[in-house]
Structure 1
Amino acid sequence: MIGCFPYLFTNFGVLDLTGVEGANIGNAINGIMGPFVAMLAAFMTFVAFWMQYKTHVQQREDISQERYVNNFMKLIDIYREIVNAINLEDKIKGRPAFHFIFYEFKSIYSAVHSKYIGFEDIAVLYISFEIFMSGIVEKGNPVLNNRIVELLREKGHTNLPCDFQQKLDELERELIQANTNFQNTKEPPICFRVEKYREDMVFPNLYKGYMDKLTSYFNVTYLILTFLNANKNITPDAKTLKESMFSMQLTNHEISLIVMYIYYIRYRDEGKQRIQECPDITFLEDLNKRFPNTFYWKDPRFIESDN
């Protein structure tokens, strides 16, 4: 619009622009238009840079989101590979193994709970998980039992009964006998379910420990949960979507084991640096609570016999 002023002045103006006055008016117009043109040029330059900046920010966010999704899917792929590689004495393999593993843990938890009446549930969970992961043998496992006693004392159980470790030995012998009965007569331990298996099923041995089979599983699961909680740039809706995508990969038996594992390491590592990194598992606990008496370890009915 400002560029039309010379044409308007020269063709429709009331002033004579051919004389000295015209020259002065021309200088005046140049003086007036100069700052406006400079301001307009500066504004347009700012707009161009601003649009470029916004595009760069959007591209960076898109790349960040794409990298987040790619890393998440890689973790899921690793998780699936580990699940498929689970092998229980060549008798149960892959995802179906977690049904057997879950009820094996539940039978340990029930046995520990009955042996140590008065212990808080988290201490019972800790003892159970130590036995579950390390396993037991007929000759005893003093390293395991000493570790359990030492940690419980660190947690405030300074007045443990003098026969506490003896009771641990008794508990482990009882579990070994329960496995012998299970193998010979198919009489399941308390809280162990067999009705979904074939009648001629030859079961894996119980209570041999899962340190070699589940350490990688729990590690990658912990990494996925930490990953879901660590990214500050992801929107709440996107986080919820990824949580749903992960939980859809899990059976109820896996969800319950993962929740109990997280509580176990929180208790075991309390006061250490790692506890600060423990992820939020609320979305998994909510799934547990749909069937609390079967899958949620905090429910009083969790230790009721399923046989």
Structure 2
Amino acid sequence: MNSSPGTLTIRPITGPDEIALFNRLPYTINHELADDLAERRRRPEWMWVALHDDRLLARVAWWGHGGADTPLLLDILDVDDDGEDLAEVAQALYETAAKQVLSSGAVPPEYGRFVPADWREDPETYRAVRTRMGVLENTGARLTVERLRLEWRAGTELPAPDQRLAFRPAVDTDELVALMTRALDGTLDAHSRSDLAQMSPREAAVKHYEQELATYSSPRDWWRIGTLGEDGEPVGFVIPARNSYHPVIAYLGVVPEHRGHGYVDGLLAEGTRLLAAERVPRIRAATDLGNVPMANAFARAGYVNFERAVNMAWPRR
């Protein structure tokens, strides 16, 4: 599909042969896009460009689970930041592409973008991020949360285990979902709080399990439930895993009655230790900027904040 004020062309890429064209605009995940196409986490029809003759002015792309029919996330919206105001081009690109990619009448997938940790302090970076956010704000999206992206690096001292806790594999899905449901009580996580405004805690836990945890191909017996001693009651759980890109601490929760005793450190230490034993170069994690207790736990465990992410969403109808 083409749009032509002058020689402006808006269209999807034709296939993997145009990845080099698509990657003319820099972004931290460009190196992943070819594999994403090969594994069908992306499709050419989900990746659009705005071209002026041979110059790439802007691009937009959605991401989904491998083989999925519909995208789950809008994670690329870029413009050529070479001093020229291309906000209108980016707006036309997004709106044109969204009409073709997204189902009519459906709430668009959430937008997520990785940004430097100091993006608000650097004027040029702030302007670039705000340009992209402004395009989506014009269509009704609003900032929902800013997240810390965290990394434990090989060679960092492993966090000490909590001698009060014993661990067993979280092989019983019903037990794990029940613990996830209980851990949602009083959660500080913005995505979970948004879900809880729309559904029951049990439904929110099942959604999280099915849409994220169940999609990991890494061994299920990595997942751990932490208990008070060998035969004690569960205090929480930790989900070390490998997503399509990195080893991750995918999820961690402490049930309400056991909060305030520092068990979060023991759960995180166990998940970190398990992944480090796989001799991985890094372990990734993320938590909301406002979730200060969890951010502090990651810092105590040796994780560093290397980046942030901003997330935007459209109101649910």
> Normalising by the residue count of structure 2, what TM-score does the alignment of the two structures yield?
0.21
**Higher strand share goes to which structure?**
2
> Normalising by the residue count of structure 1, what TM-score does the alignment of the two structures yield?
0.21
**Higher helix share goes to which structure?**
1
